[in-house]
Structure formats: C-alpha cells, structure tokens
C-alpha cells in the first residue's frame, strides 16, 4: 500500500488537519455556541458520521488557544482510573514556556477571583485536586472530552458507572472552569437514564451529528480533490463516488468517504503516474463501499497471515483472525487492550507481536497511550460478521459470567447446574485467554460449591429413604415378601409422583412461556428434567426458553432505548418507533412491543402531515433559511414514510442549498 495517500482513511481529523476539513461549518458553529453556553454538552450520532473529527479538528480550531485546553478521555480498562490518570499525566508533564508565562501574567487579574481558595484541597477528590492544579498552571478553561462514551455501558460495571456519575456531578457543581463534552453513538442514548438521575442537565445541550447530504458531500469531494491536486475526469465523478458510498440512500458516512477516496487514490497511482485522475471507470472498478472495506480487510489479513506463516512457522490457518477477534466485543464494537491483555493461546508471544506490528503498519489497528485498538468500528463490524459459531458461543459464555457476577450483589444468585456445565465446555479457553477477573473466577468456584451442596443434599434424601426401606426388608424374613411388594409399590408410587411432578412443572413452564416469563419457564423445565432425566420434550423446551432469554437483553435494550427517545419529544418519535419495531422482530414479548408501536404510530401519523405542511410553507419562501427548515421537516417525514414525491422535495431543497 502506498504511503503517499493524502486521505485520512480510518483516522479522525485532528487540529493540524484544519486546511483539509470540509463540510461541517454549521455543526462547528452550533457546537461552539453550546460549549460557551453550558458546562456540559452531549454530542451523538451514528457511527461514521465524524463526531470525533468535529471536535478534534473543527471545534479545536474554532477556539482561541487561550480559551481551549482539551483533555481526551477514553474508558480503557476503567473510566474513573482513566480520568484520574489522564489528568495526573498532564499535571506531571506541565512545563512553563515563555508563552504560557506571558499568558498567565496577562490573565492573572482577570482570573484571580475565580481561583481564590483553590489551594484549599483538604477533603477534595483526587480528580478535583488534579483539575485545580492544571487550571492554576494554565489558567484556561479545561474541556474534558469523553470520546466513545458508549464503552462505559458496553464494558463497564454498574459500580464503575455510579462512581463516575457522581464524580461528574461534583466537578460540575464546584469547578466552573471545567467543561465536559460526551461523545457517543446514538443507540447508546437510552443507556443515559441513570446518568441523568445524578446529572439532571445532561440533555439540556445536545448536538446530533447527521450523515452528510449529497450536496454537501459533493462539495467535500470537489474541495478535497482540489486541495490535493487530483483531477476529476468529468462532472459526474463526485456523483458516482457518492452513489458508490451511499448505495442510493442519499446520506453519506464520512468515514466511508475517506476510505473510498483513499482506495481510489491507490488505484489511480498504481501505474506510477505523477498526475492523479479520478474517473467514472475507476470508481466503477472499485465497486461499492462494503466491497471496498471487506476487500481491504481481506487483502491485508491474507498478506499478514501468509507472511506470518513464512516467518514464524508453524501457524494455525486462522492465526491472524484470533488476534483481530480480541479487539471486538460480542456486540460488534471495538475495544482497546494493553499488550498484556492480548493473550492468544493459539499463537506464541513472538507471533502475536508480529501480527500487531503488521496490523498497525497496515492501518487496521492503532497504538496510542500504551493501548492497541481497531482503527474504526467499521472494521469491528466486518470482523464480527466473519466470526465462527464457536467464537460467538464462547463470547456469549464470557458475557453470561460477567453479567451474572455484575448483578450478584443485588440478587445473591449463583450460576445454576446447566450454566456451570456450559462454562465447563469453555473453561480452558477462558483461562488461556485471560478473559475473567479473579473475582469472577471465585464466583464460578462458589457457584460450583453451592451446586454440589444442593445436589448432595438431594442424593442424601433419596439414599436415606432407600436405606430405611432396606432395613425394614431385612428386619424380618417373615415379612420379606410383603416388604418386597411394599418396596415395589413405593418405587411405583415414587415413579407416579415423579411423573406427576414432571407434568406439573412442564405445565407451569408452558404457562410461564405463554406469559413471556422465560426465566421462570426455564427453571420449571429444568426441575421437570430432574423428575424425568433425559426427557427430549423438556430438553427442547429448555432450549426454546434459552433462545427467548438470549433475546431478552436485546428486547429490553430496544424498549428502553425507545422509551428514552420517546421521552425526548417529537423530534425523536421516529427513532423510538424504529427501536420498538426492532424489539418486535425479536419475538420476545409481542404485546408490549405492539402496544408501544401503536402509541408512537398514532403520534407520527399526525406529525407526518404537520412536517410536510411545514416543509411546504418554508419552501415557498425561496431563501436559504426557508430551504434549510423545509429540508429538516421533509427529512423527518421521510424517515417515517418515504414516498417518491417526498424524496423529490428533499432533492429540490438540497439542490437549492447547494446553489446558494
């Protein structure tokens, strides 16, 4: 791969990229205003819309250097530790340059009141102490930017979350110079409910970063090519590029735009020509964006795997896949890891290091702050889609353990016999890949001890009954025949009782299934199985309940997200409606999902007419503001119900905005 490509590929834009960052002027101004108006701003949007670039490049360059001290925080292993470590690292590395000294002297009189008393640090939290030390030195507003904040909900424990929420509340209450910006994917918004309880102003200032429309994206393509001296062979080339990226959807993810342009550049320069041309045949040769990203990952993986087999044999045929899988969660999002956390039992340490070095060189992973991670969630999705059923099952077992341990304090419930048996199938791999904490292993051990205690008690009861009967039989030869008959009758009665209990438990399980109480149903079927070992019907019912339970978490997440979006007001009704429909597709609790859908659809039917009417009224003003407002209303209506007439109106607005 050529190293001369000027495009960012999967990297976010940073402050130094100001001259090549196009198309987000309006969003930069909105975010700049919000950052001035409040000490907490929420930035959210779909993956690939350029949220990080908007802040690292757009917002960072909008501020004067004297008013901007940015601290970027990722969760890494634990968000509270990462926050404190990040602040301490900056505090220990601060230097007094001439410029900084001059700046402090100029601002001393202005800032003296604001900093009065900050030396009083007794009883303060370590985070606030570190913040005050930084502010005292630099005398600038401090912006804490929590990027990829959804990681806290995907990977974090409830205790970790609660500690963080209260730390944020304390900082916002006492440290007026400190501003916070939370950046997350929009599907994680519903997870902010508990955060909002502690910080009620969480949603007061929020910015949704939308995918770019066709008109603006065409301008970005033209300006970028002009900046890099790339010739466009024909007026339709930008349109062809957008069509390949958007698949006719009309909206463009900026991450994919950069990937596509980078790959176009590689093709355009493969013959060594000094002058670079983008043409329609070249775009058609590359294909659509899904093909481009999949092909990039496939080609790089094949090359690295081949080189690994040649350099450090013997190597498993999926050796590199094991490394890539380590960076992706069960949910299909990326996660960062230290080198120590990357344990690939199928590879030696030398082979793993070889893979990491080549993946970084190939721009598939990044290395920063002593941690490795995938370059973008777009790659995480590609890797997750290629996982084997065995890999998915292993990750589900790992998540089962972590989820059950996370709620143990509140439920005091141990893993049951079936769950322990399932874990046993993957125990060796769990140990080899170092997936669990010491506390989680102790929880498994305690669960096993509790399971053995319960089963031993049951065996003792049965053995005791048999022993008593045996003594009675042997006590009198005269009564031997009678005792034998009694024993036979007892066993038959025991069998009838077992069958009756089996039938009762199966019936209760069926009743629980009918009422969507799948956890209770599974428990009933498991007890039924104890009364009728290896019964195929009970085993099938357990499997059916487990399938439903696997959908439970996803169903509840969709319903909760839908409820949270619905509560945000009419602008979010379509998003709520889509979440409820996803819940219905899981076939977990249809009455609940159907009720939610019916409620929001009734609201949307009314709003649909209102949005179209508003759009028509704005459109007839024939000015930029009118077209912009019309476009906003038409797009809202289009998300609920798309028609050719509505799409035509959207195209007219975008065309008008592109001409003004």
Looking at the fold, whether 44 and 158 belong to one and the same domain comes out as yes
Tell me the average pLDDT across 387-416: 85
> Which residues, other chains included, contact 352 with Cβ-Cβ below 8 Å and sequence gap of 6+?
323, 342, 344
Read off the CATH number of the domain in which 259 is found: 1.10.8
Out of 258, 287, 316, a domain closes at 287
Helix pair angle (573-585, 536-567), 10° resolution: 180
Asked if the structure places residue 83 within a domain, the reply is yes
Read off the CATH number of the domain in which 620 is found: 1.25.40
Tell me the average pLDDT across 40-67: 93
* Eight-class DSSP state of 202: T
Read off the CATH number of the domain in which 109 is found: 3.40.50.300
Looking at the fold, whether 202 and 241 belong to one and the same domain comes out as no
Asked if the structure places residue 363 within a domain, the reply is no
Looking at the fold, whether 105 and 179 belong to one and the same domain comes out as yes
What is the torsional sign of CA 210, 216, 222, 228?
negative
Out of 506, 532, 553, a domain closes at 553
Rounded CA-CA distance 246/237 in Å is 14
Asked if the structure places residue 608 within a domain, the reply is yes
Looking at the fold, whether 592 and 612 belong to one and the same domain comes out as yes
Looking at the fold, whether 111 and 178 belong to one and the same domain comes out as yes
Asked if the structure places residue 395 within a domain, the reply is no
Backbone angles phi, psi at 78, to 5 degrees: -160, 125
Alpha-helix residue ranges (DSSP H) falling in 231-367:
237-246, 254-268, 280-286, 289-311, 319-325, 349-361
Burial (Cβ within 10 Å: 0-12, 13-18, ≥19) of residue 341: middle
Please state the domain count of the chain. Answer: 4
| Per-residue pLDDT tens over the stretch 111-144 | 444 444 444 556 789 999 999 999 999 999 999 9
Are residues 184 and 148 in contact, defined by beta-carbon separation less than 8 angstroms?
yes
| Per-residue pLDDT tens over the stretch 355-375 | 999 999 888 999 988 899 998
| Per-residue pLDDT tens over the stretch 426-476 | 899 888 888 888 899 999 999 999 888 888 887 788 777 777 666 655 655
pLDDT bin (cut points 50, 70, 90) of residue 282 is: very high
Looking at the fold, whether 262 and 196 belong to one and the same domain comes out as no
Q: Which tokens hold the place of 472?
A: 């009675």
Looking at the fold, whether 546 and 593 belong to one and the same domain comes out as no
pLDDT bin (cut points 50, 70, 90) of residue 660 is: very low
User: Looking at residue 480, what is its pLDDT?
Assistant: 54
Asked if the structure places residue 135 within a domain, the reply is yes
Taking residue 56's Cβ as centre, other Cβ atoms within 10 Å add up to 23
What is the torsional sign of CA 577, 583, 586, 588?
negative
User: Looking at residue 25, what is its pLDDT?
Assistant: 93
Whether 423 has a pLDDT exceeding 70, the answer reads yes
Taking residue 66's Cβ as centre, other Cβ atoms within 10 Å add up to 14
User: Looking at residue 120, what is its pLDDT?
Assistant: 55
| Per-residue pLDDT tens over the stretch 478-498 | 455 555 666 676 677 677 777
Looking at the fold, whether 116 and 141 belong to one and the same domain comes out as yes
Taking residue 569's Cβ as centre, other Cβ atoms within 10 Å add up to 8
| Per-residue pLDDT tens over the stretch 224-235 | 999 999 999 988
Looking at the fold, whether 531 and 468 belong to one and the same domain comes out as yes
Mean pLDDT of the chain: 85
Kindly list the distances between the CA atom of residue 362 and the CA atoms of 79, 114, 307, 315, 441, in Å, as whole numbers in the listed order.
29, 48, 13, 20, 37
Rounded CA-CA distance 323/325 in Å is 5
User: Looking at residue 360, what is its pLDDT?
Assistant: 92
Backbone angles phi, psi at 74, to 5 degrees: -115, 155
Rounded CA-CA distance 654/641 in Å is 19
Out of 252, 287, 322, a domain closes at 287
Give the pairing of strands 40-45 and 206-209. parallel
| Per-residue pLDDT tens over the stretch 574-587 | 888 888 888 888 88
What is the torsional sign of CA 475, 481, 485, 487?
positive
Largest separation between any pair of C-alpha atoms in the chain: 113
Rounded CA-CA distance 75/163 in Å is 13
Q: Which tokens hold the place of 82?
A: 């990462």
Q: Secondary structure of the chain: what % helix, strand, coil (to 5)? A: 70, 5, 25
Kindly list the distances between the CA atom of residue 606 and the CA atoms of 122, 600, 609, 618, in Å, as whole numbers in the listed order.
58, 10, 6, 19
Share of the chain above pLDDT 70, in %: 90
Q: Would you give the end-to-end CA distance of the chain in angstroms?
A: 40
User: Looking at residue 112, what is its pLDDT?
Assistant: 46
CA dihedral 334→50→371→17, nearest 10 degrees, is 160
Looking at the fold, whether 148 and 94 belong to one and the same domain comes out as yes
Looking at the fold, whether 570 and 634 belong to one and the same domain comes out as yes
* Eight-class DSSP state of 54: I
Residue with tokens 């804490």: 144
pLDDT bin (cut points 50, 70, 90) of residue 659 is: low
| Per-residue pLDDT tens over the stretch 234-245 | 889 999 999 888
DSSP string, 127-176: HHHHHHHHHHHH-S-EEEEETTTTHHHHH--HHHHHHHHHHHHHHHHH-T
Which domain covers residue 257, as residue numbers? 214-287
pLDDT bin (cut points 50, 70, 90) of residue 422 is: confident
| Per-residue pLDDT tens over the stretch 66-104 | 999 999 999 998 999 999 999 999 987 665 444 444 455
Share of the chain above pLDDT 90, in %: 37
Three-state DSSP class for residue 274: coil
Asked if the structure places residue 300 within a domain, the reply is no
Element (H, E) at 624: helix 624-640
Looking at the fold, whether 82 and 37 belong to one and the same domain comes out as yes
């Amino acid at each position: 791969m050529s190293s001369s490509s000027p495009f960012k590929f999967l990297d976010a834009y940073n402050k130094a990229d100001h001259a090549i960052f196009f198309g987000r002027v309006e969003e930069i101004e909105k975010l700049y205003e919000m950052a001035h108006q409040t000490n907490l701003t929420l930035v959210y949007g779909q993956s690939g819309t350029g949220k990080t670039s908007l802040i690292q490049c757009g917002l960072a360059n909008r501020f004067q250097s004297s008013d901007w001290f940015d601290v970027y925080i990722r969760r890494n292993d634990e968000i509270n530790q990462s926050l404190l470590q990040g602040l301490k690292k900056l505090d220990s590395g601060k230097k007094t340059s001439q410029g900084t000294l001059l700046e402090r002297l100029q601002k001393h009189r202005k800032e003296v009141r604001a900093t009065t008393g900050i030396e009083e640090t007794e009883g303060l939290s370590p985070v606030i102490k570190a913040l005050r030390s930084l502010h005292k030195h630099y005398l600038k507003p401090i912006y804490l930017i929590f990027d990829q904040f959804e990681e806290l909900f995907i990977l974090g424990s409830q205790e970790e979350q609660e500690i963080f929420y209260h730390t944020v509340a304390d900082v916002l209450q006492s440290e007026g110079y400190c501003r916070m910006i939370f950046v997350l994917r929009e599907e994680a918004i519903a997870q902010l409910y508990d955060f909002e309880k502690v910080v009620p102003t969480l949603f007061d200032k929020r910015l949704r970063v939308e995918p770019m429309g066709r008109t603006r994206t065409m301008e970005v393509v033209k300006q970028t090519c002009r900046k890099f001296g790339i010739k466009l062979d024909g007026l339709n080339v930008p349109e062809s590029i957008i069509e390949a990226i958007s698949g006719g959807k009309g909206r463009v993810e900026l991450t994919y735009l950069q990937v596509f342009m980078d790959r176009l550049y590689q093709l355009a320069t493969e013959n060594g020509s000094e002058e670079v041309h983008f043409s329609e045949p070249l775009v058609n040769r590359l294909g659509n964006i899904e093909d481009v990203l999949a092909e990039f990952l496939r080609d790089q993986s094949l090359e690295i795997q081949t080189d690994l087999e040649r350099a450090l044999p013997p190597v498993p045929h999926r050796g590199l896949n094991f490394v890539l899988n380590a960076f992706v969660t069960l949910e299909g999002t990326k996660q960062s890891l230290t080198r120590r956390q990357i344990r690939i039992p199928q590879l030696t340490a030398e082979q793993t290091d070889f893979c990491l070095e080549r993946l970084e060189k190939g721009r598939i992973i990044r290395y920063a702050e002593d941690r490795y991670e995938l370059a973008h969630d777009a790659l995480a999705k590609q890797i997750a889609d290629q996982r084997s059923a065995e890999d998915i099952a292993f990750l589900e077992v790992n998540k089962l353990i972590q989820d059950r341990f996370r709620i143990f304090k509140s439920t005091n419930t141990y893993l049951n016999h079936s769950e322990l048996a399932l874990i046993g199938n993957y125990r060796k791999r769990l140990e080899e890949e170092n997936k669990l904490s010491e506390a989680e292993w102790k929880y498994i051990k305690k669960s096993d001890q509790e399971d053995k205690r319960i089963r031993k008690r049951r065996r003792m009861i049965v053995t005791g009954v048999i022993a008593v009967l045996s003594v009675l039989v042997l006590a009198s030869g005269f009564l031997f025949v009678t005792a034998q008959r009694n024993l036979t009758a007892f066993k038959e009665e025991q069998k009838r009782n077992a069958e009756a209990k089996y039938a009762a438990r199966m019936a209760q399980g069926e009743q629980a299934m009918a009422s969507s109480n799948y956890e209770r149903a599974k428990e009933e079927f498991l007890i039924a199985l104890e009364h009728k070992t290896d019964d195929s019907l009970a085993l099938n019912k357990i499997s059916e309940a487990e399938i439903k339970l696997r959908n439970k978490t996803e169903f509840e997440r969709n319903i909760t997200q839908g409820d949270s979006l619905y509560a945000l007001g009419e602008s979010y009704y379509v998003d709520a409606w889509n979440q409820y429909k996803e819940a219905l597709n899981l076939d977990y609790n249809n009455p609940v999902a159907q009720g939610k859908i019916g409620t929001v659809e009734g609201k949307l039917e009314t709003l649909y007419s209102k949005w179209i009417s508003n759009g028509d009224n704005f459109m007839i003003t024939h000015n930029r503001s009118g077209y912009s407002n019309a476009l906003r209303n038409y797009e809202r209506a289009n998300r609920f119900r798309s028609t050719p007439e509505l799409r035509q109106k959207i195209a007219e607005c975008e065309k008008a905005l592109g001409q003004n």
